Each structure stands twice: as C-alpha cells, then as structure tokens.
C-alpha cells in the first residue's frame, strides 16, 4: 500500500501556528478513503454495492506538533477485522518523525441501516479486508 500524503494548509493551523488537533481526524479520513481506493473498494463502489461504513470510534495520540507547509505521510493498516467490525491503524509522520498515531473503528450497514455480516453478504469485500488483516 502506498502511504497517503497531506500537505498542511494554513487554515488548519491555530493562532500559535500549530495544526489544530481536530485536523488529524480529518487526515485519517482522507487516508482511509485513499486506502479503500487502493484496495479496489472506493466509497462509490461500496455504496453501489449497498455498503455503508460509519465510524463507531476514533482515537488519536499526538506526539509532535505540525505546522503550515509540513508534508505528513499517513500509513494505514487493517489492524482487526471480524466481518462485522473493522479497526484501522494510522501512523502520521513528518519525514521520519512520528507526529500522531491513531485508530478508527467502523461497522458495516446495508441501505436499510441494518448491520451486515460481510462474510455472508459481501464475500468479495470480506476477502479483501481479511487478506489485509495484520493477524490473518
């Protein structure tokens, strides 16, 4: 998987010139969308297949401040996948310095908002995610 790169914009910084903490969550979303596209399951394809994937939890640990014009490289991994719940892990770096790490958790719903078991209902997507799981 190719890491996602985000160039920090001026509007993402606060009065002190430091990136506001809320932006790291947005960058995780950008990287997740990119990751899904790289594995052949972009959000349009998911929705066309009747799959909705809301965020159920998110966590960030901030290590080092970032600033306007920094280039942040974000790596994404499937940390855990059980067919109903997906946990992704993120590492954000400026050059070789870890600036933030985090997790997001997601479930899968059908168009009616009911929880889906991907193994049974969407086996192709299930196999893709299962094959990327760190503990597979």
> DSSP state, 94?
E
For the chain, domain boundaries = 4-132
Identify the active-site residue in 14, 34, 48, 69: 14
**Would residue 14 show up in a list of annotated catalytic residues for this protein?**
yes
CATH code, residues 4-132: 3.10.129.10
pLDDT digits (tens, 9 = 90+) for 84-128: 999 999 999 999 999 999 999 999 999 899 999 999 999 999 999
Q: How confident is the model at residue 82 (pLDDT cuts 50, 70, 90)?
A: confident
Q: Say whether pLDDT at 63 is over 60.
A: yes
Residue 78, beta-bridge partner list:
88, 133
DSSP string, 36-58: HHHTT--HHHHHHTT-B--EEEE
Per-residue pLDDT at 40: 96
């Amino acid at each position: 998987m190719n890491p996602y790169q985000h160039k920090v914009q001026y509007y993402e910084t606060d009065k002190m010139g430091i990136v506001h903490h809320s932006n790291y969550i947005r960058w995780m979303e950008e990287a997740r969308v990119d990751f899904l596209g790289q594995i052949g399951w972009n959000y349009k394809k998911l929705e066309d297949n009747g799959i909705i994937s809301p965020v159920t939890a998110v966590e960030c640990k901030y290590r080092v401040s970032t600033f306007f014009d920094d280039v942040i490289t974000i790596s994404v991994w499937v940390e855990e996948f059980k067919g109903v719940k997906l946990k992704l892990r993120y590492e954000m770096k400026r050059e070789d310095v870890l600036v933030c790490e985090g997790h997001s958790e997601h479930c899968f719903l059908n168009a009616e908002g009911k929880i889906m078991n991907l193994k049974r209902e969407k086996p192709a997507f299930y196999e893709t995610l299962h094959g990327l799981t760190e503990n597979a």
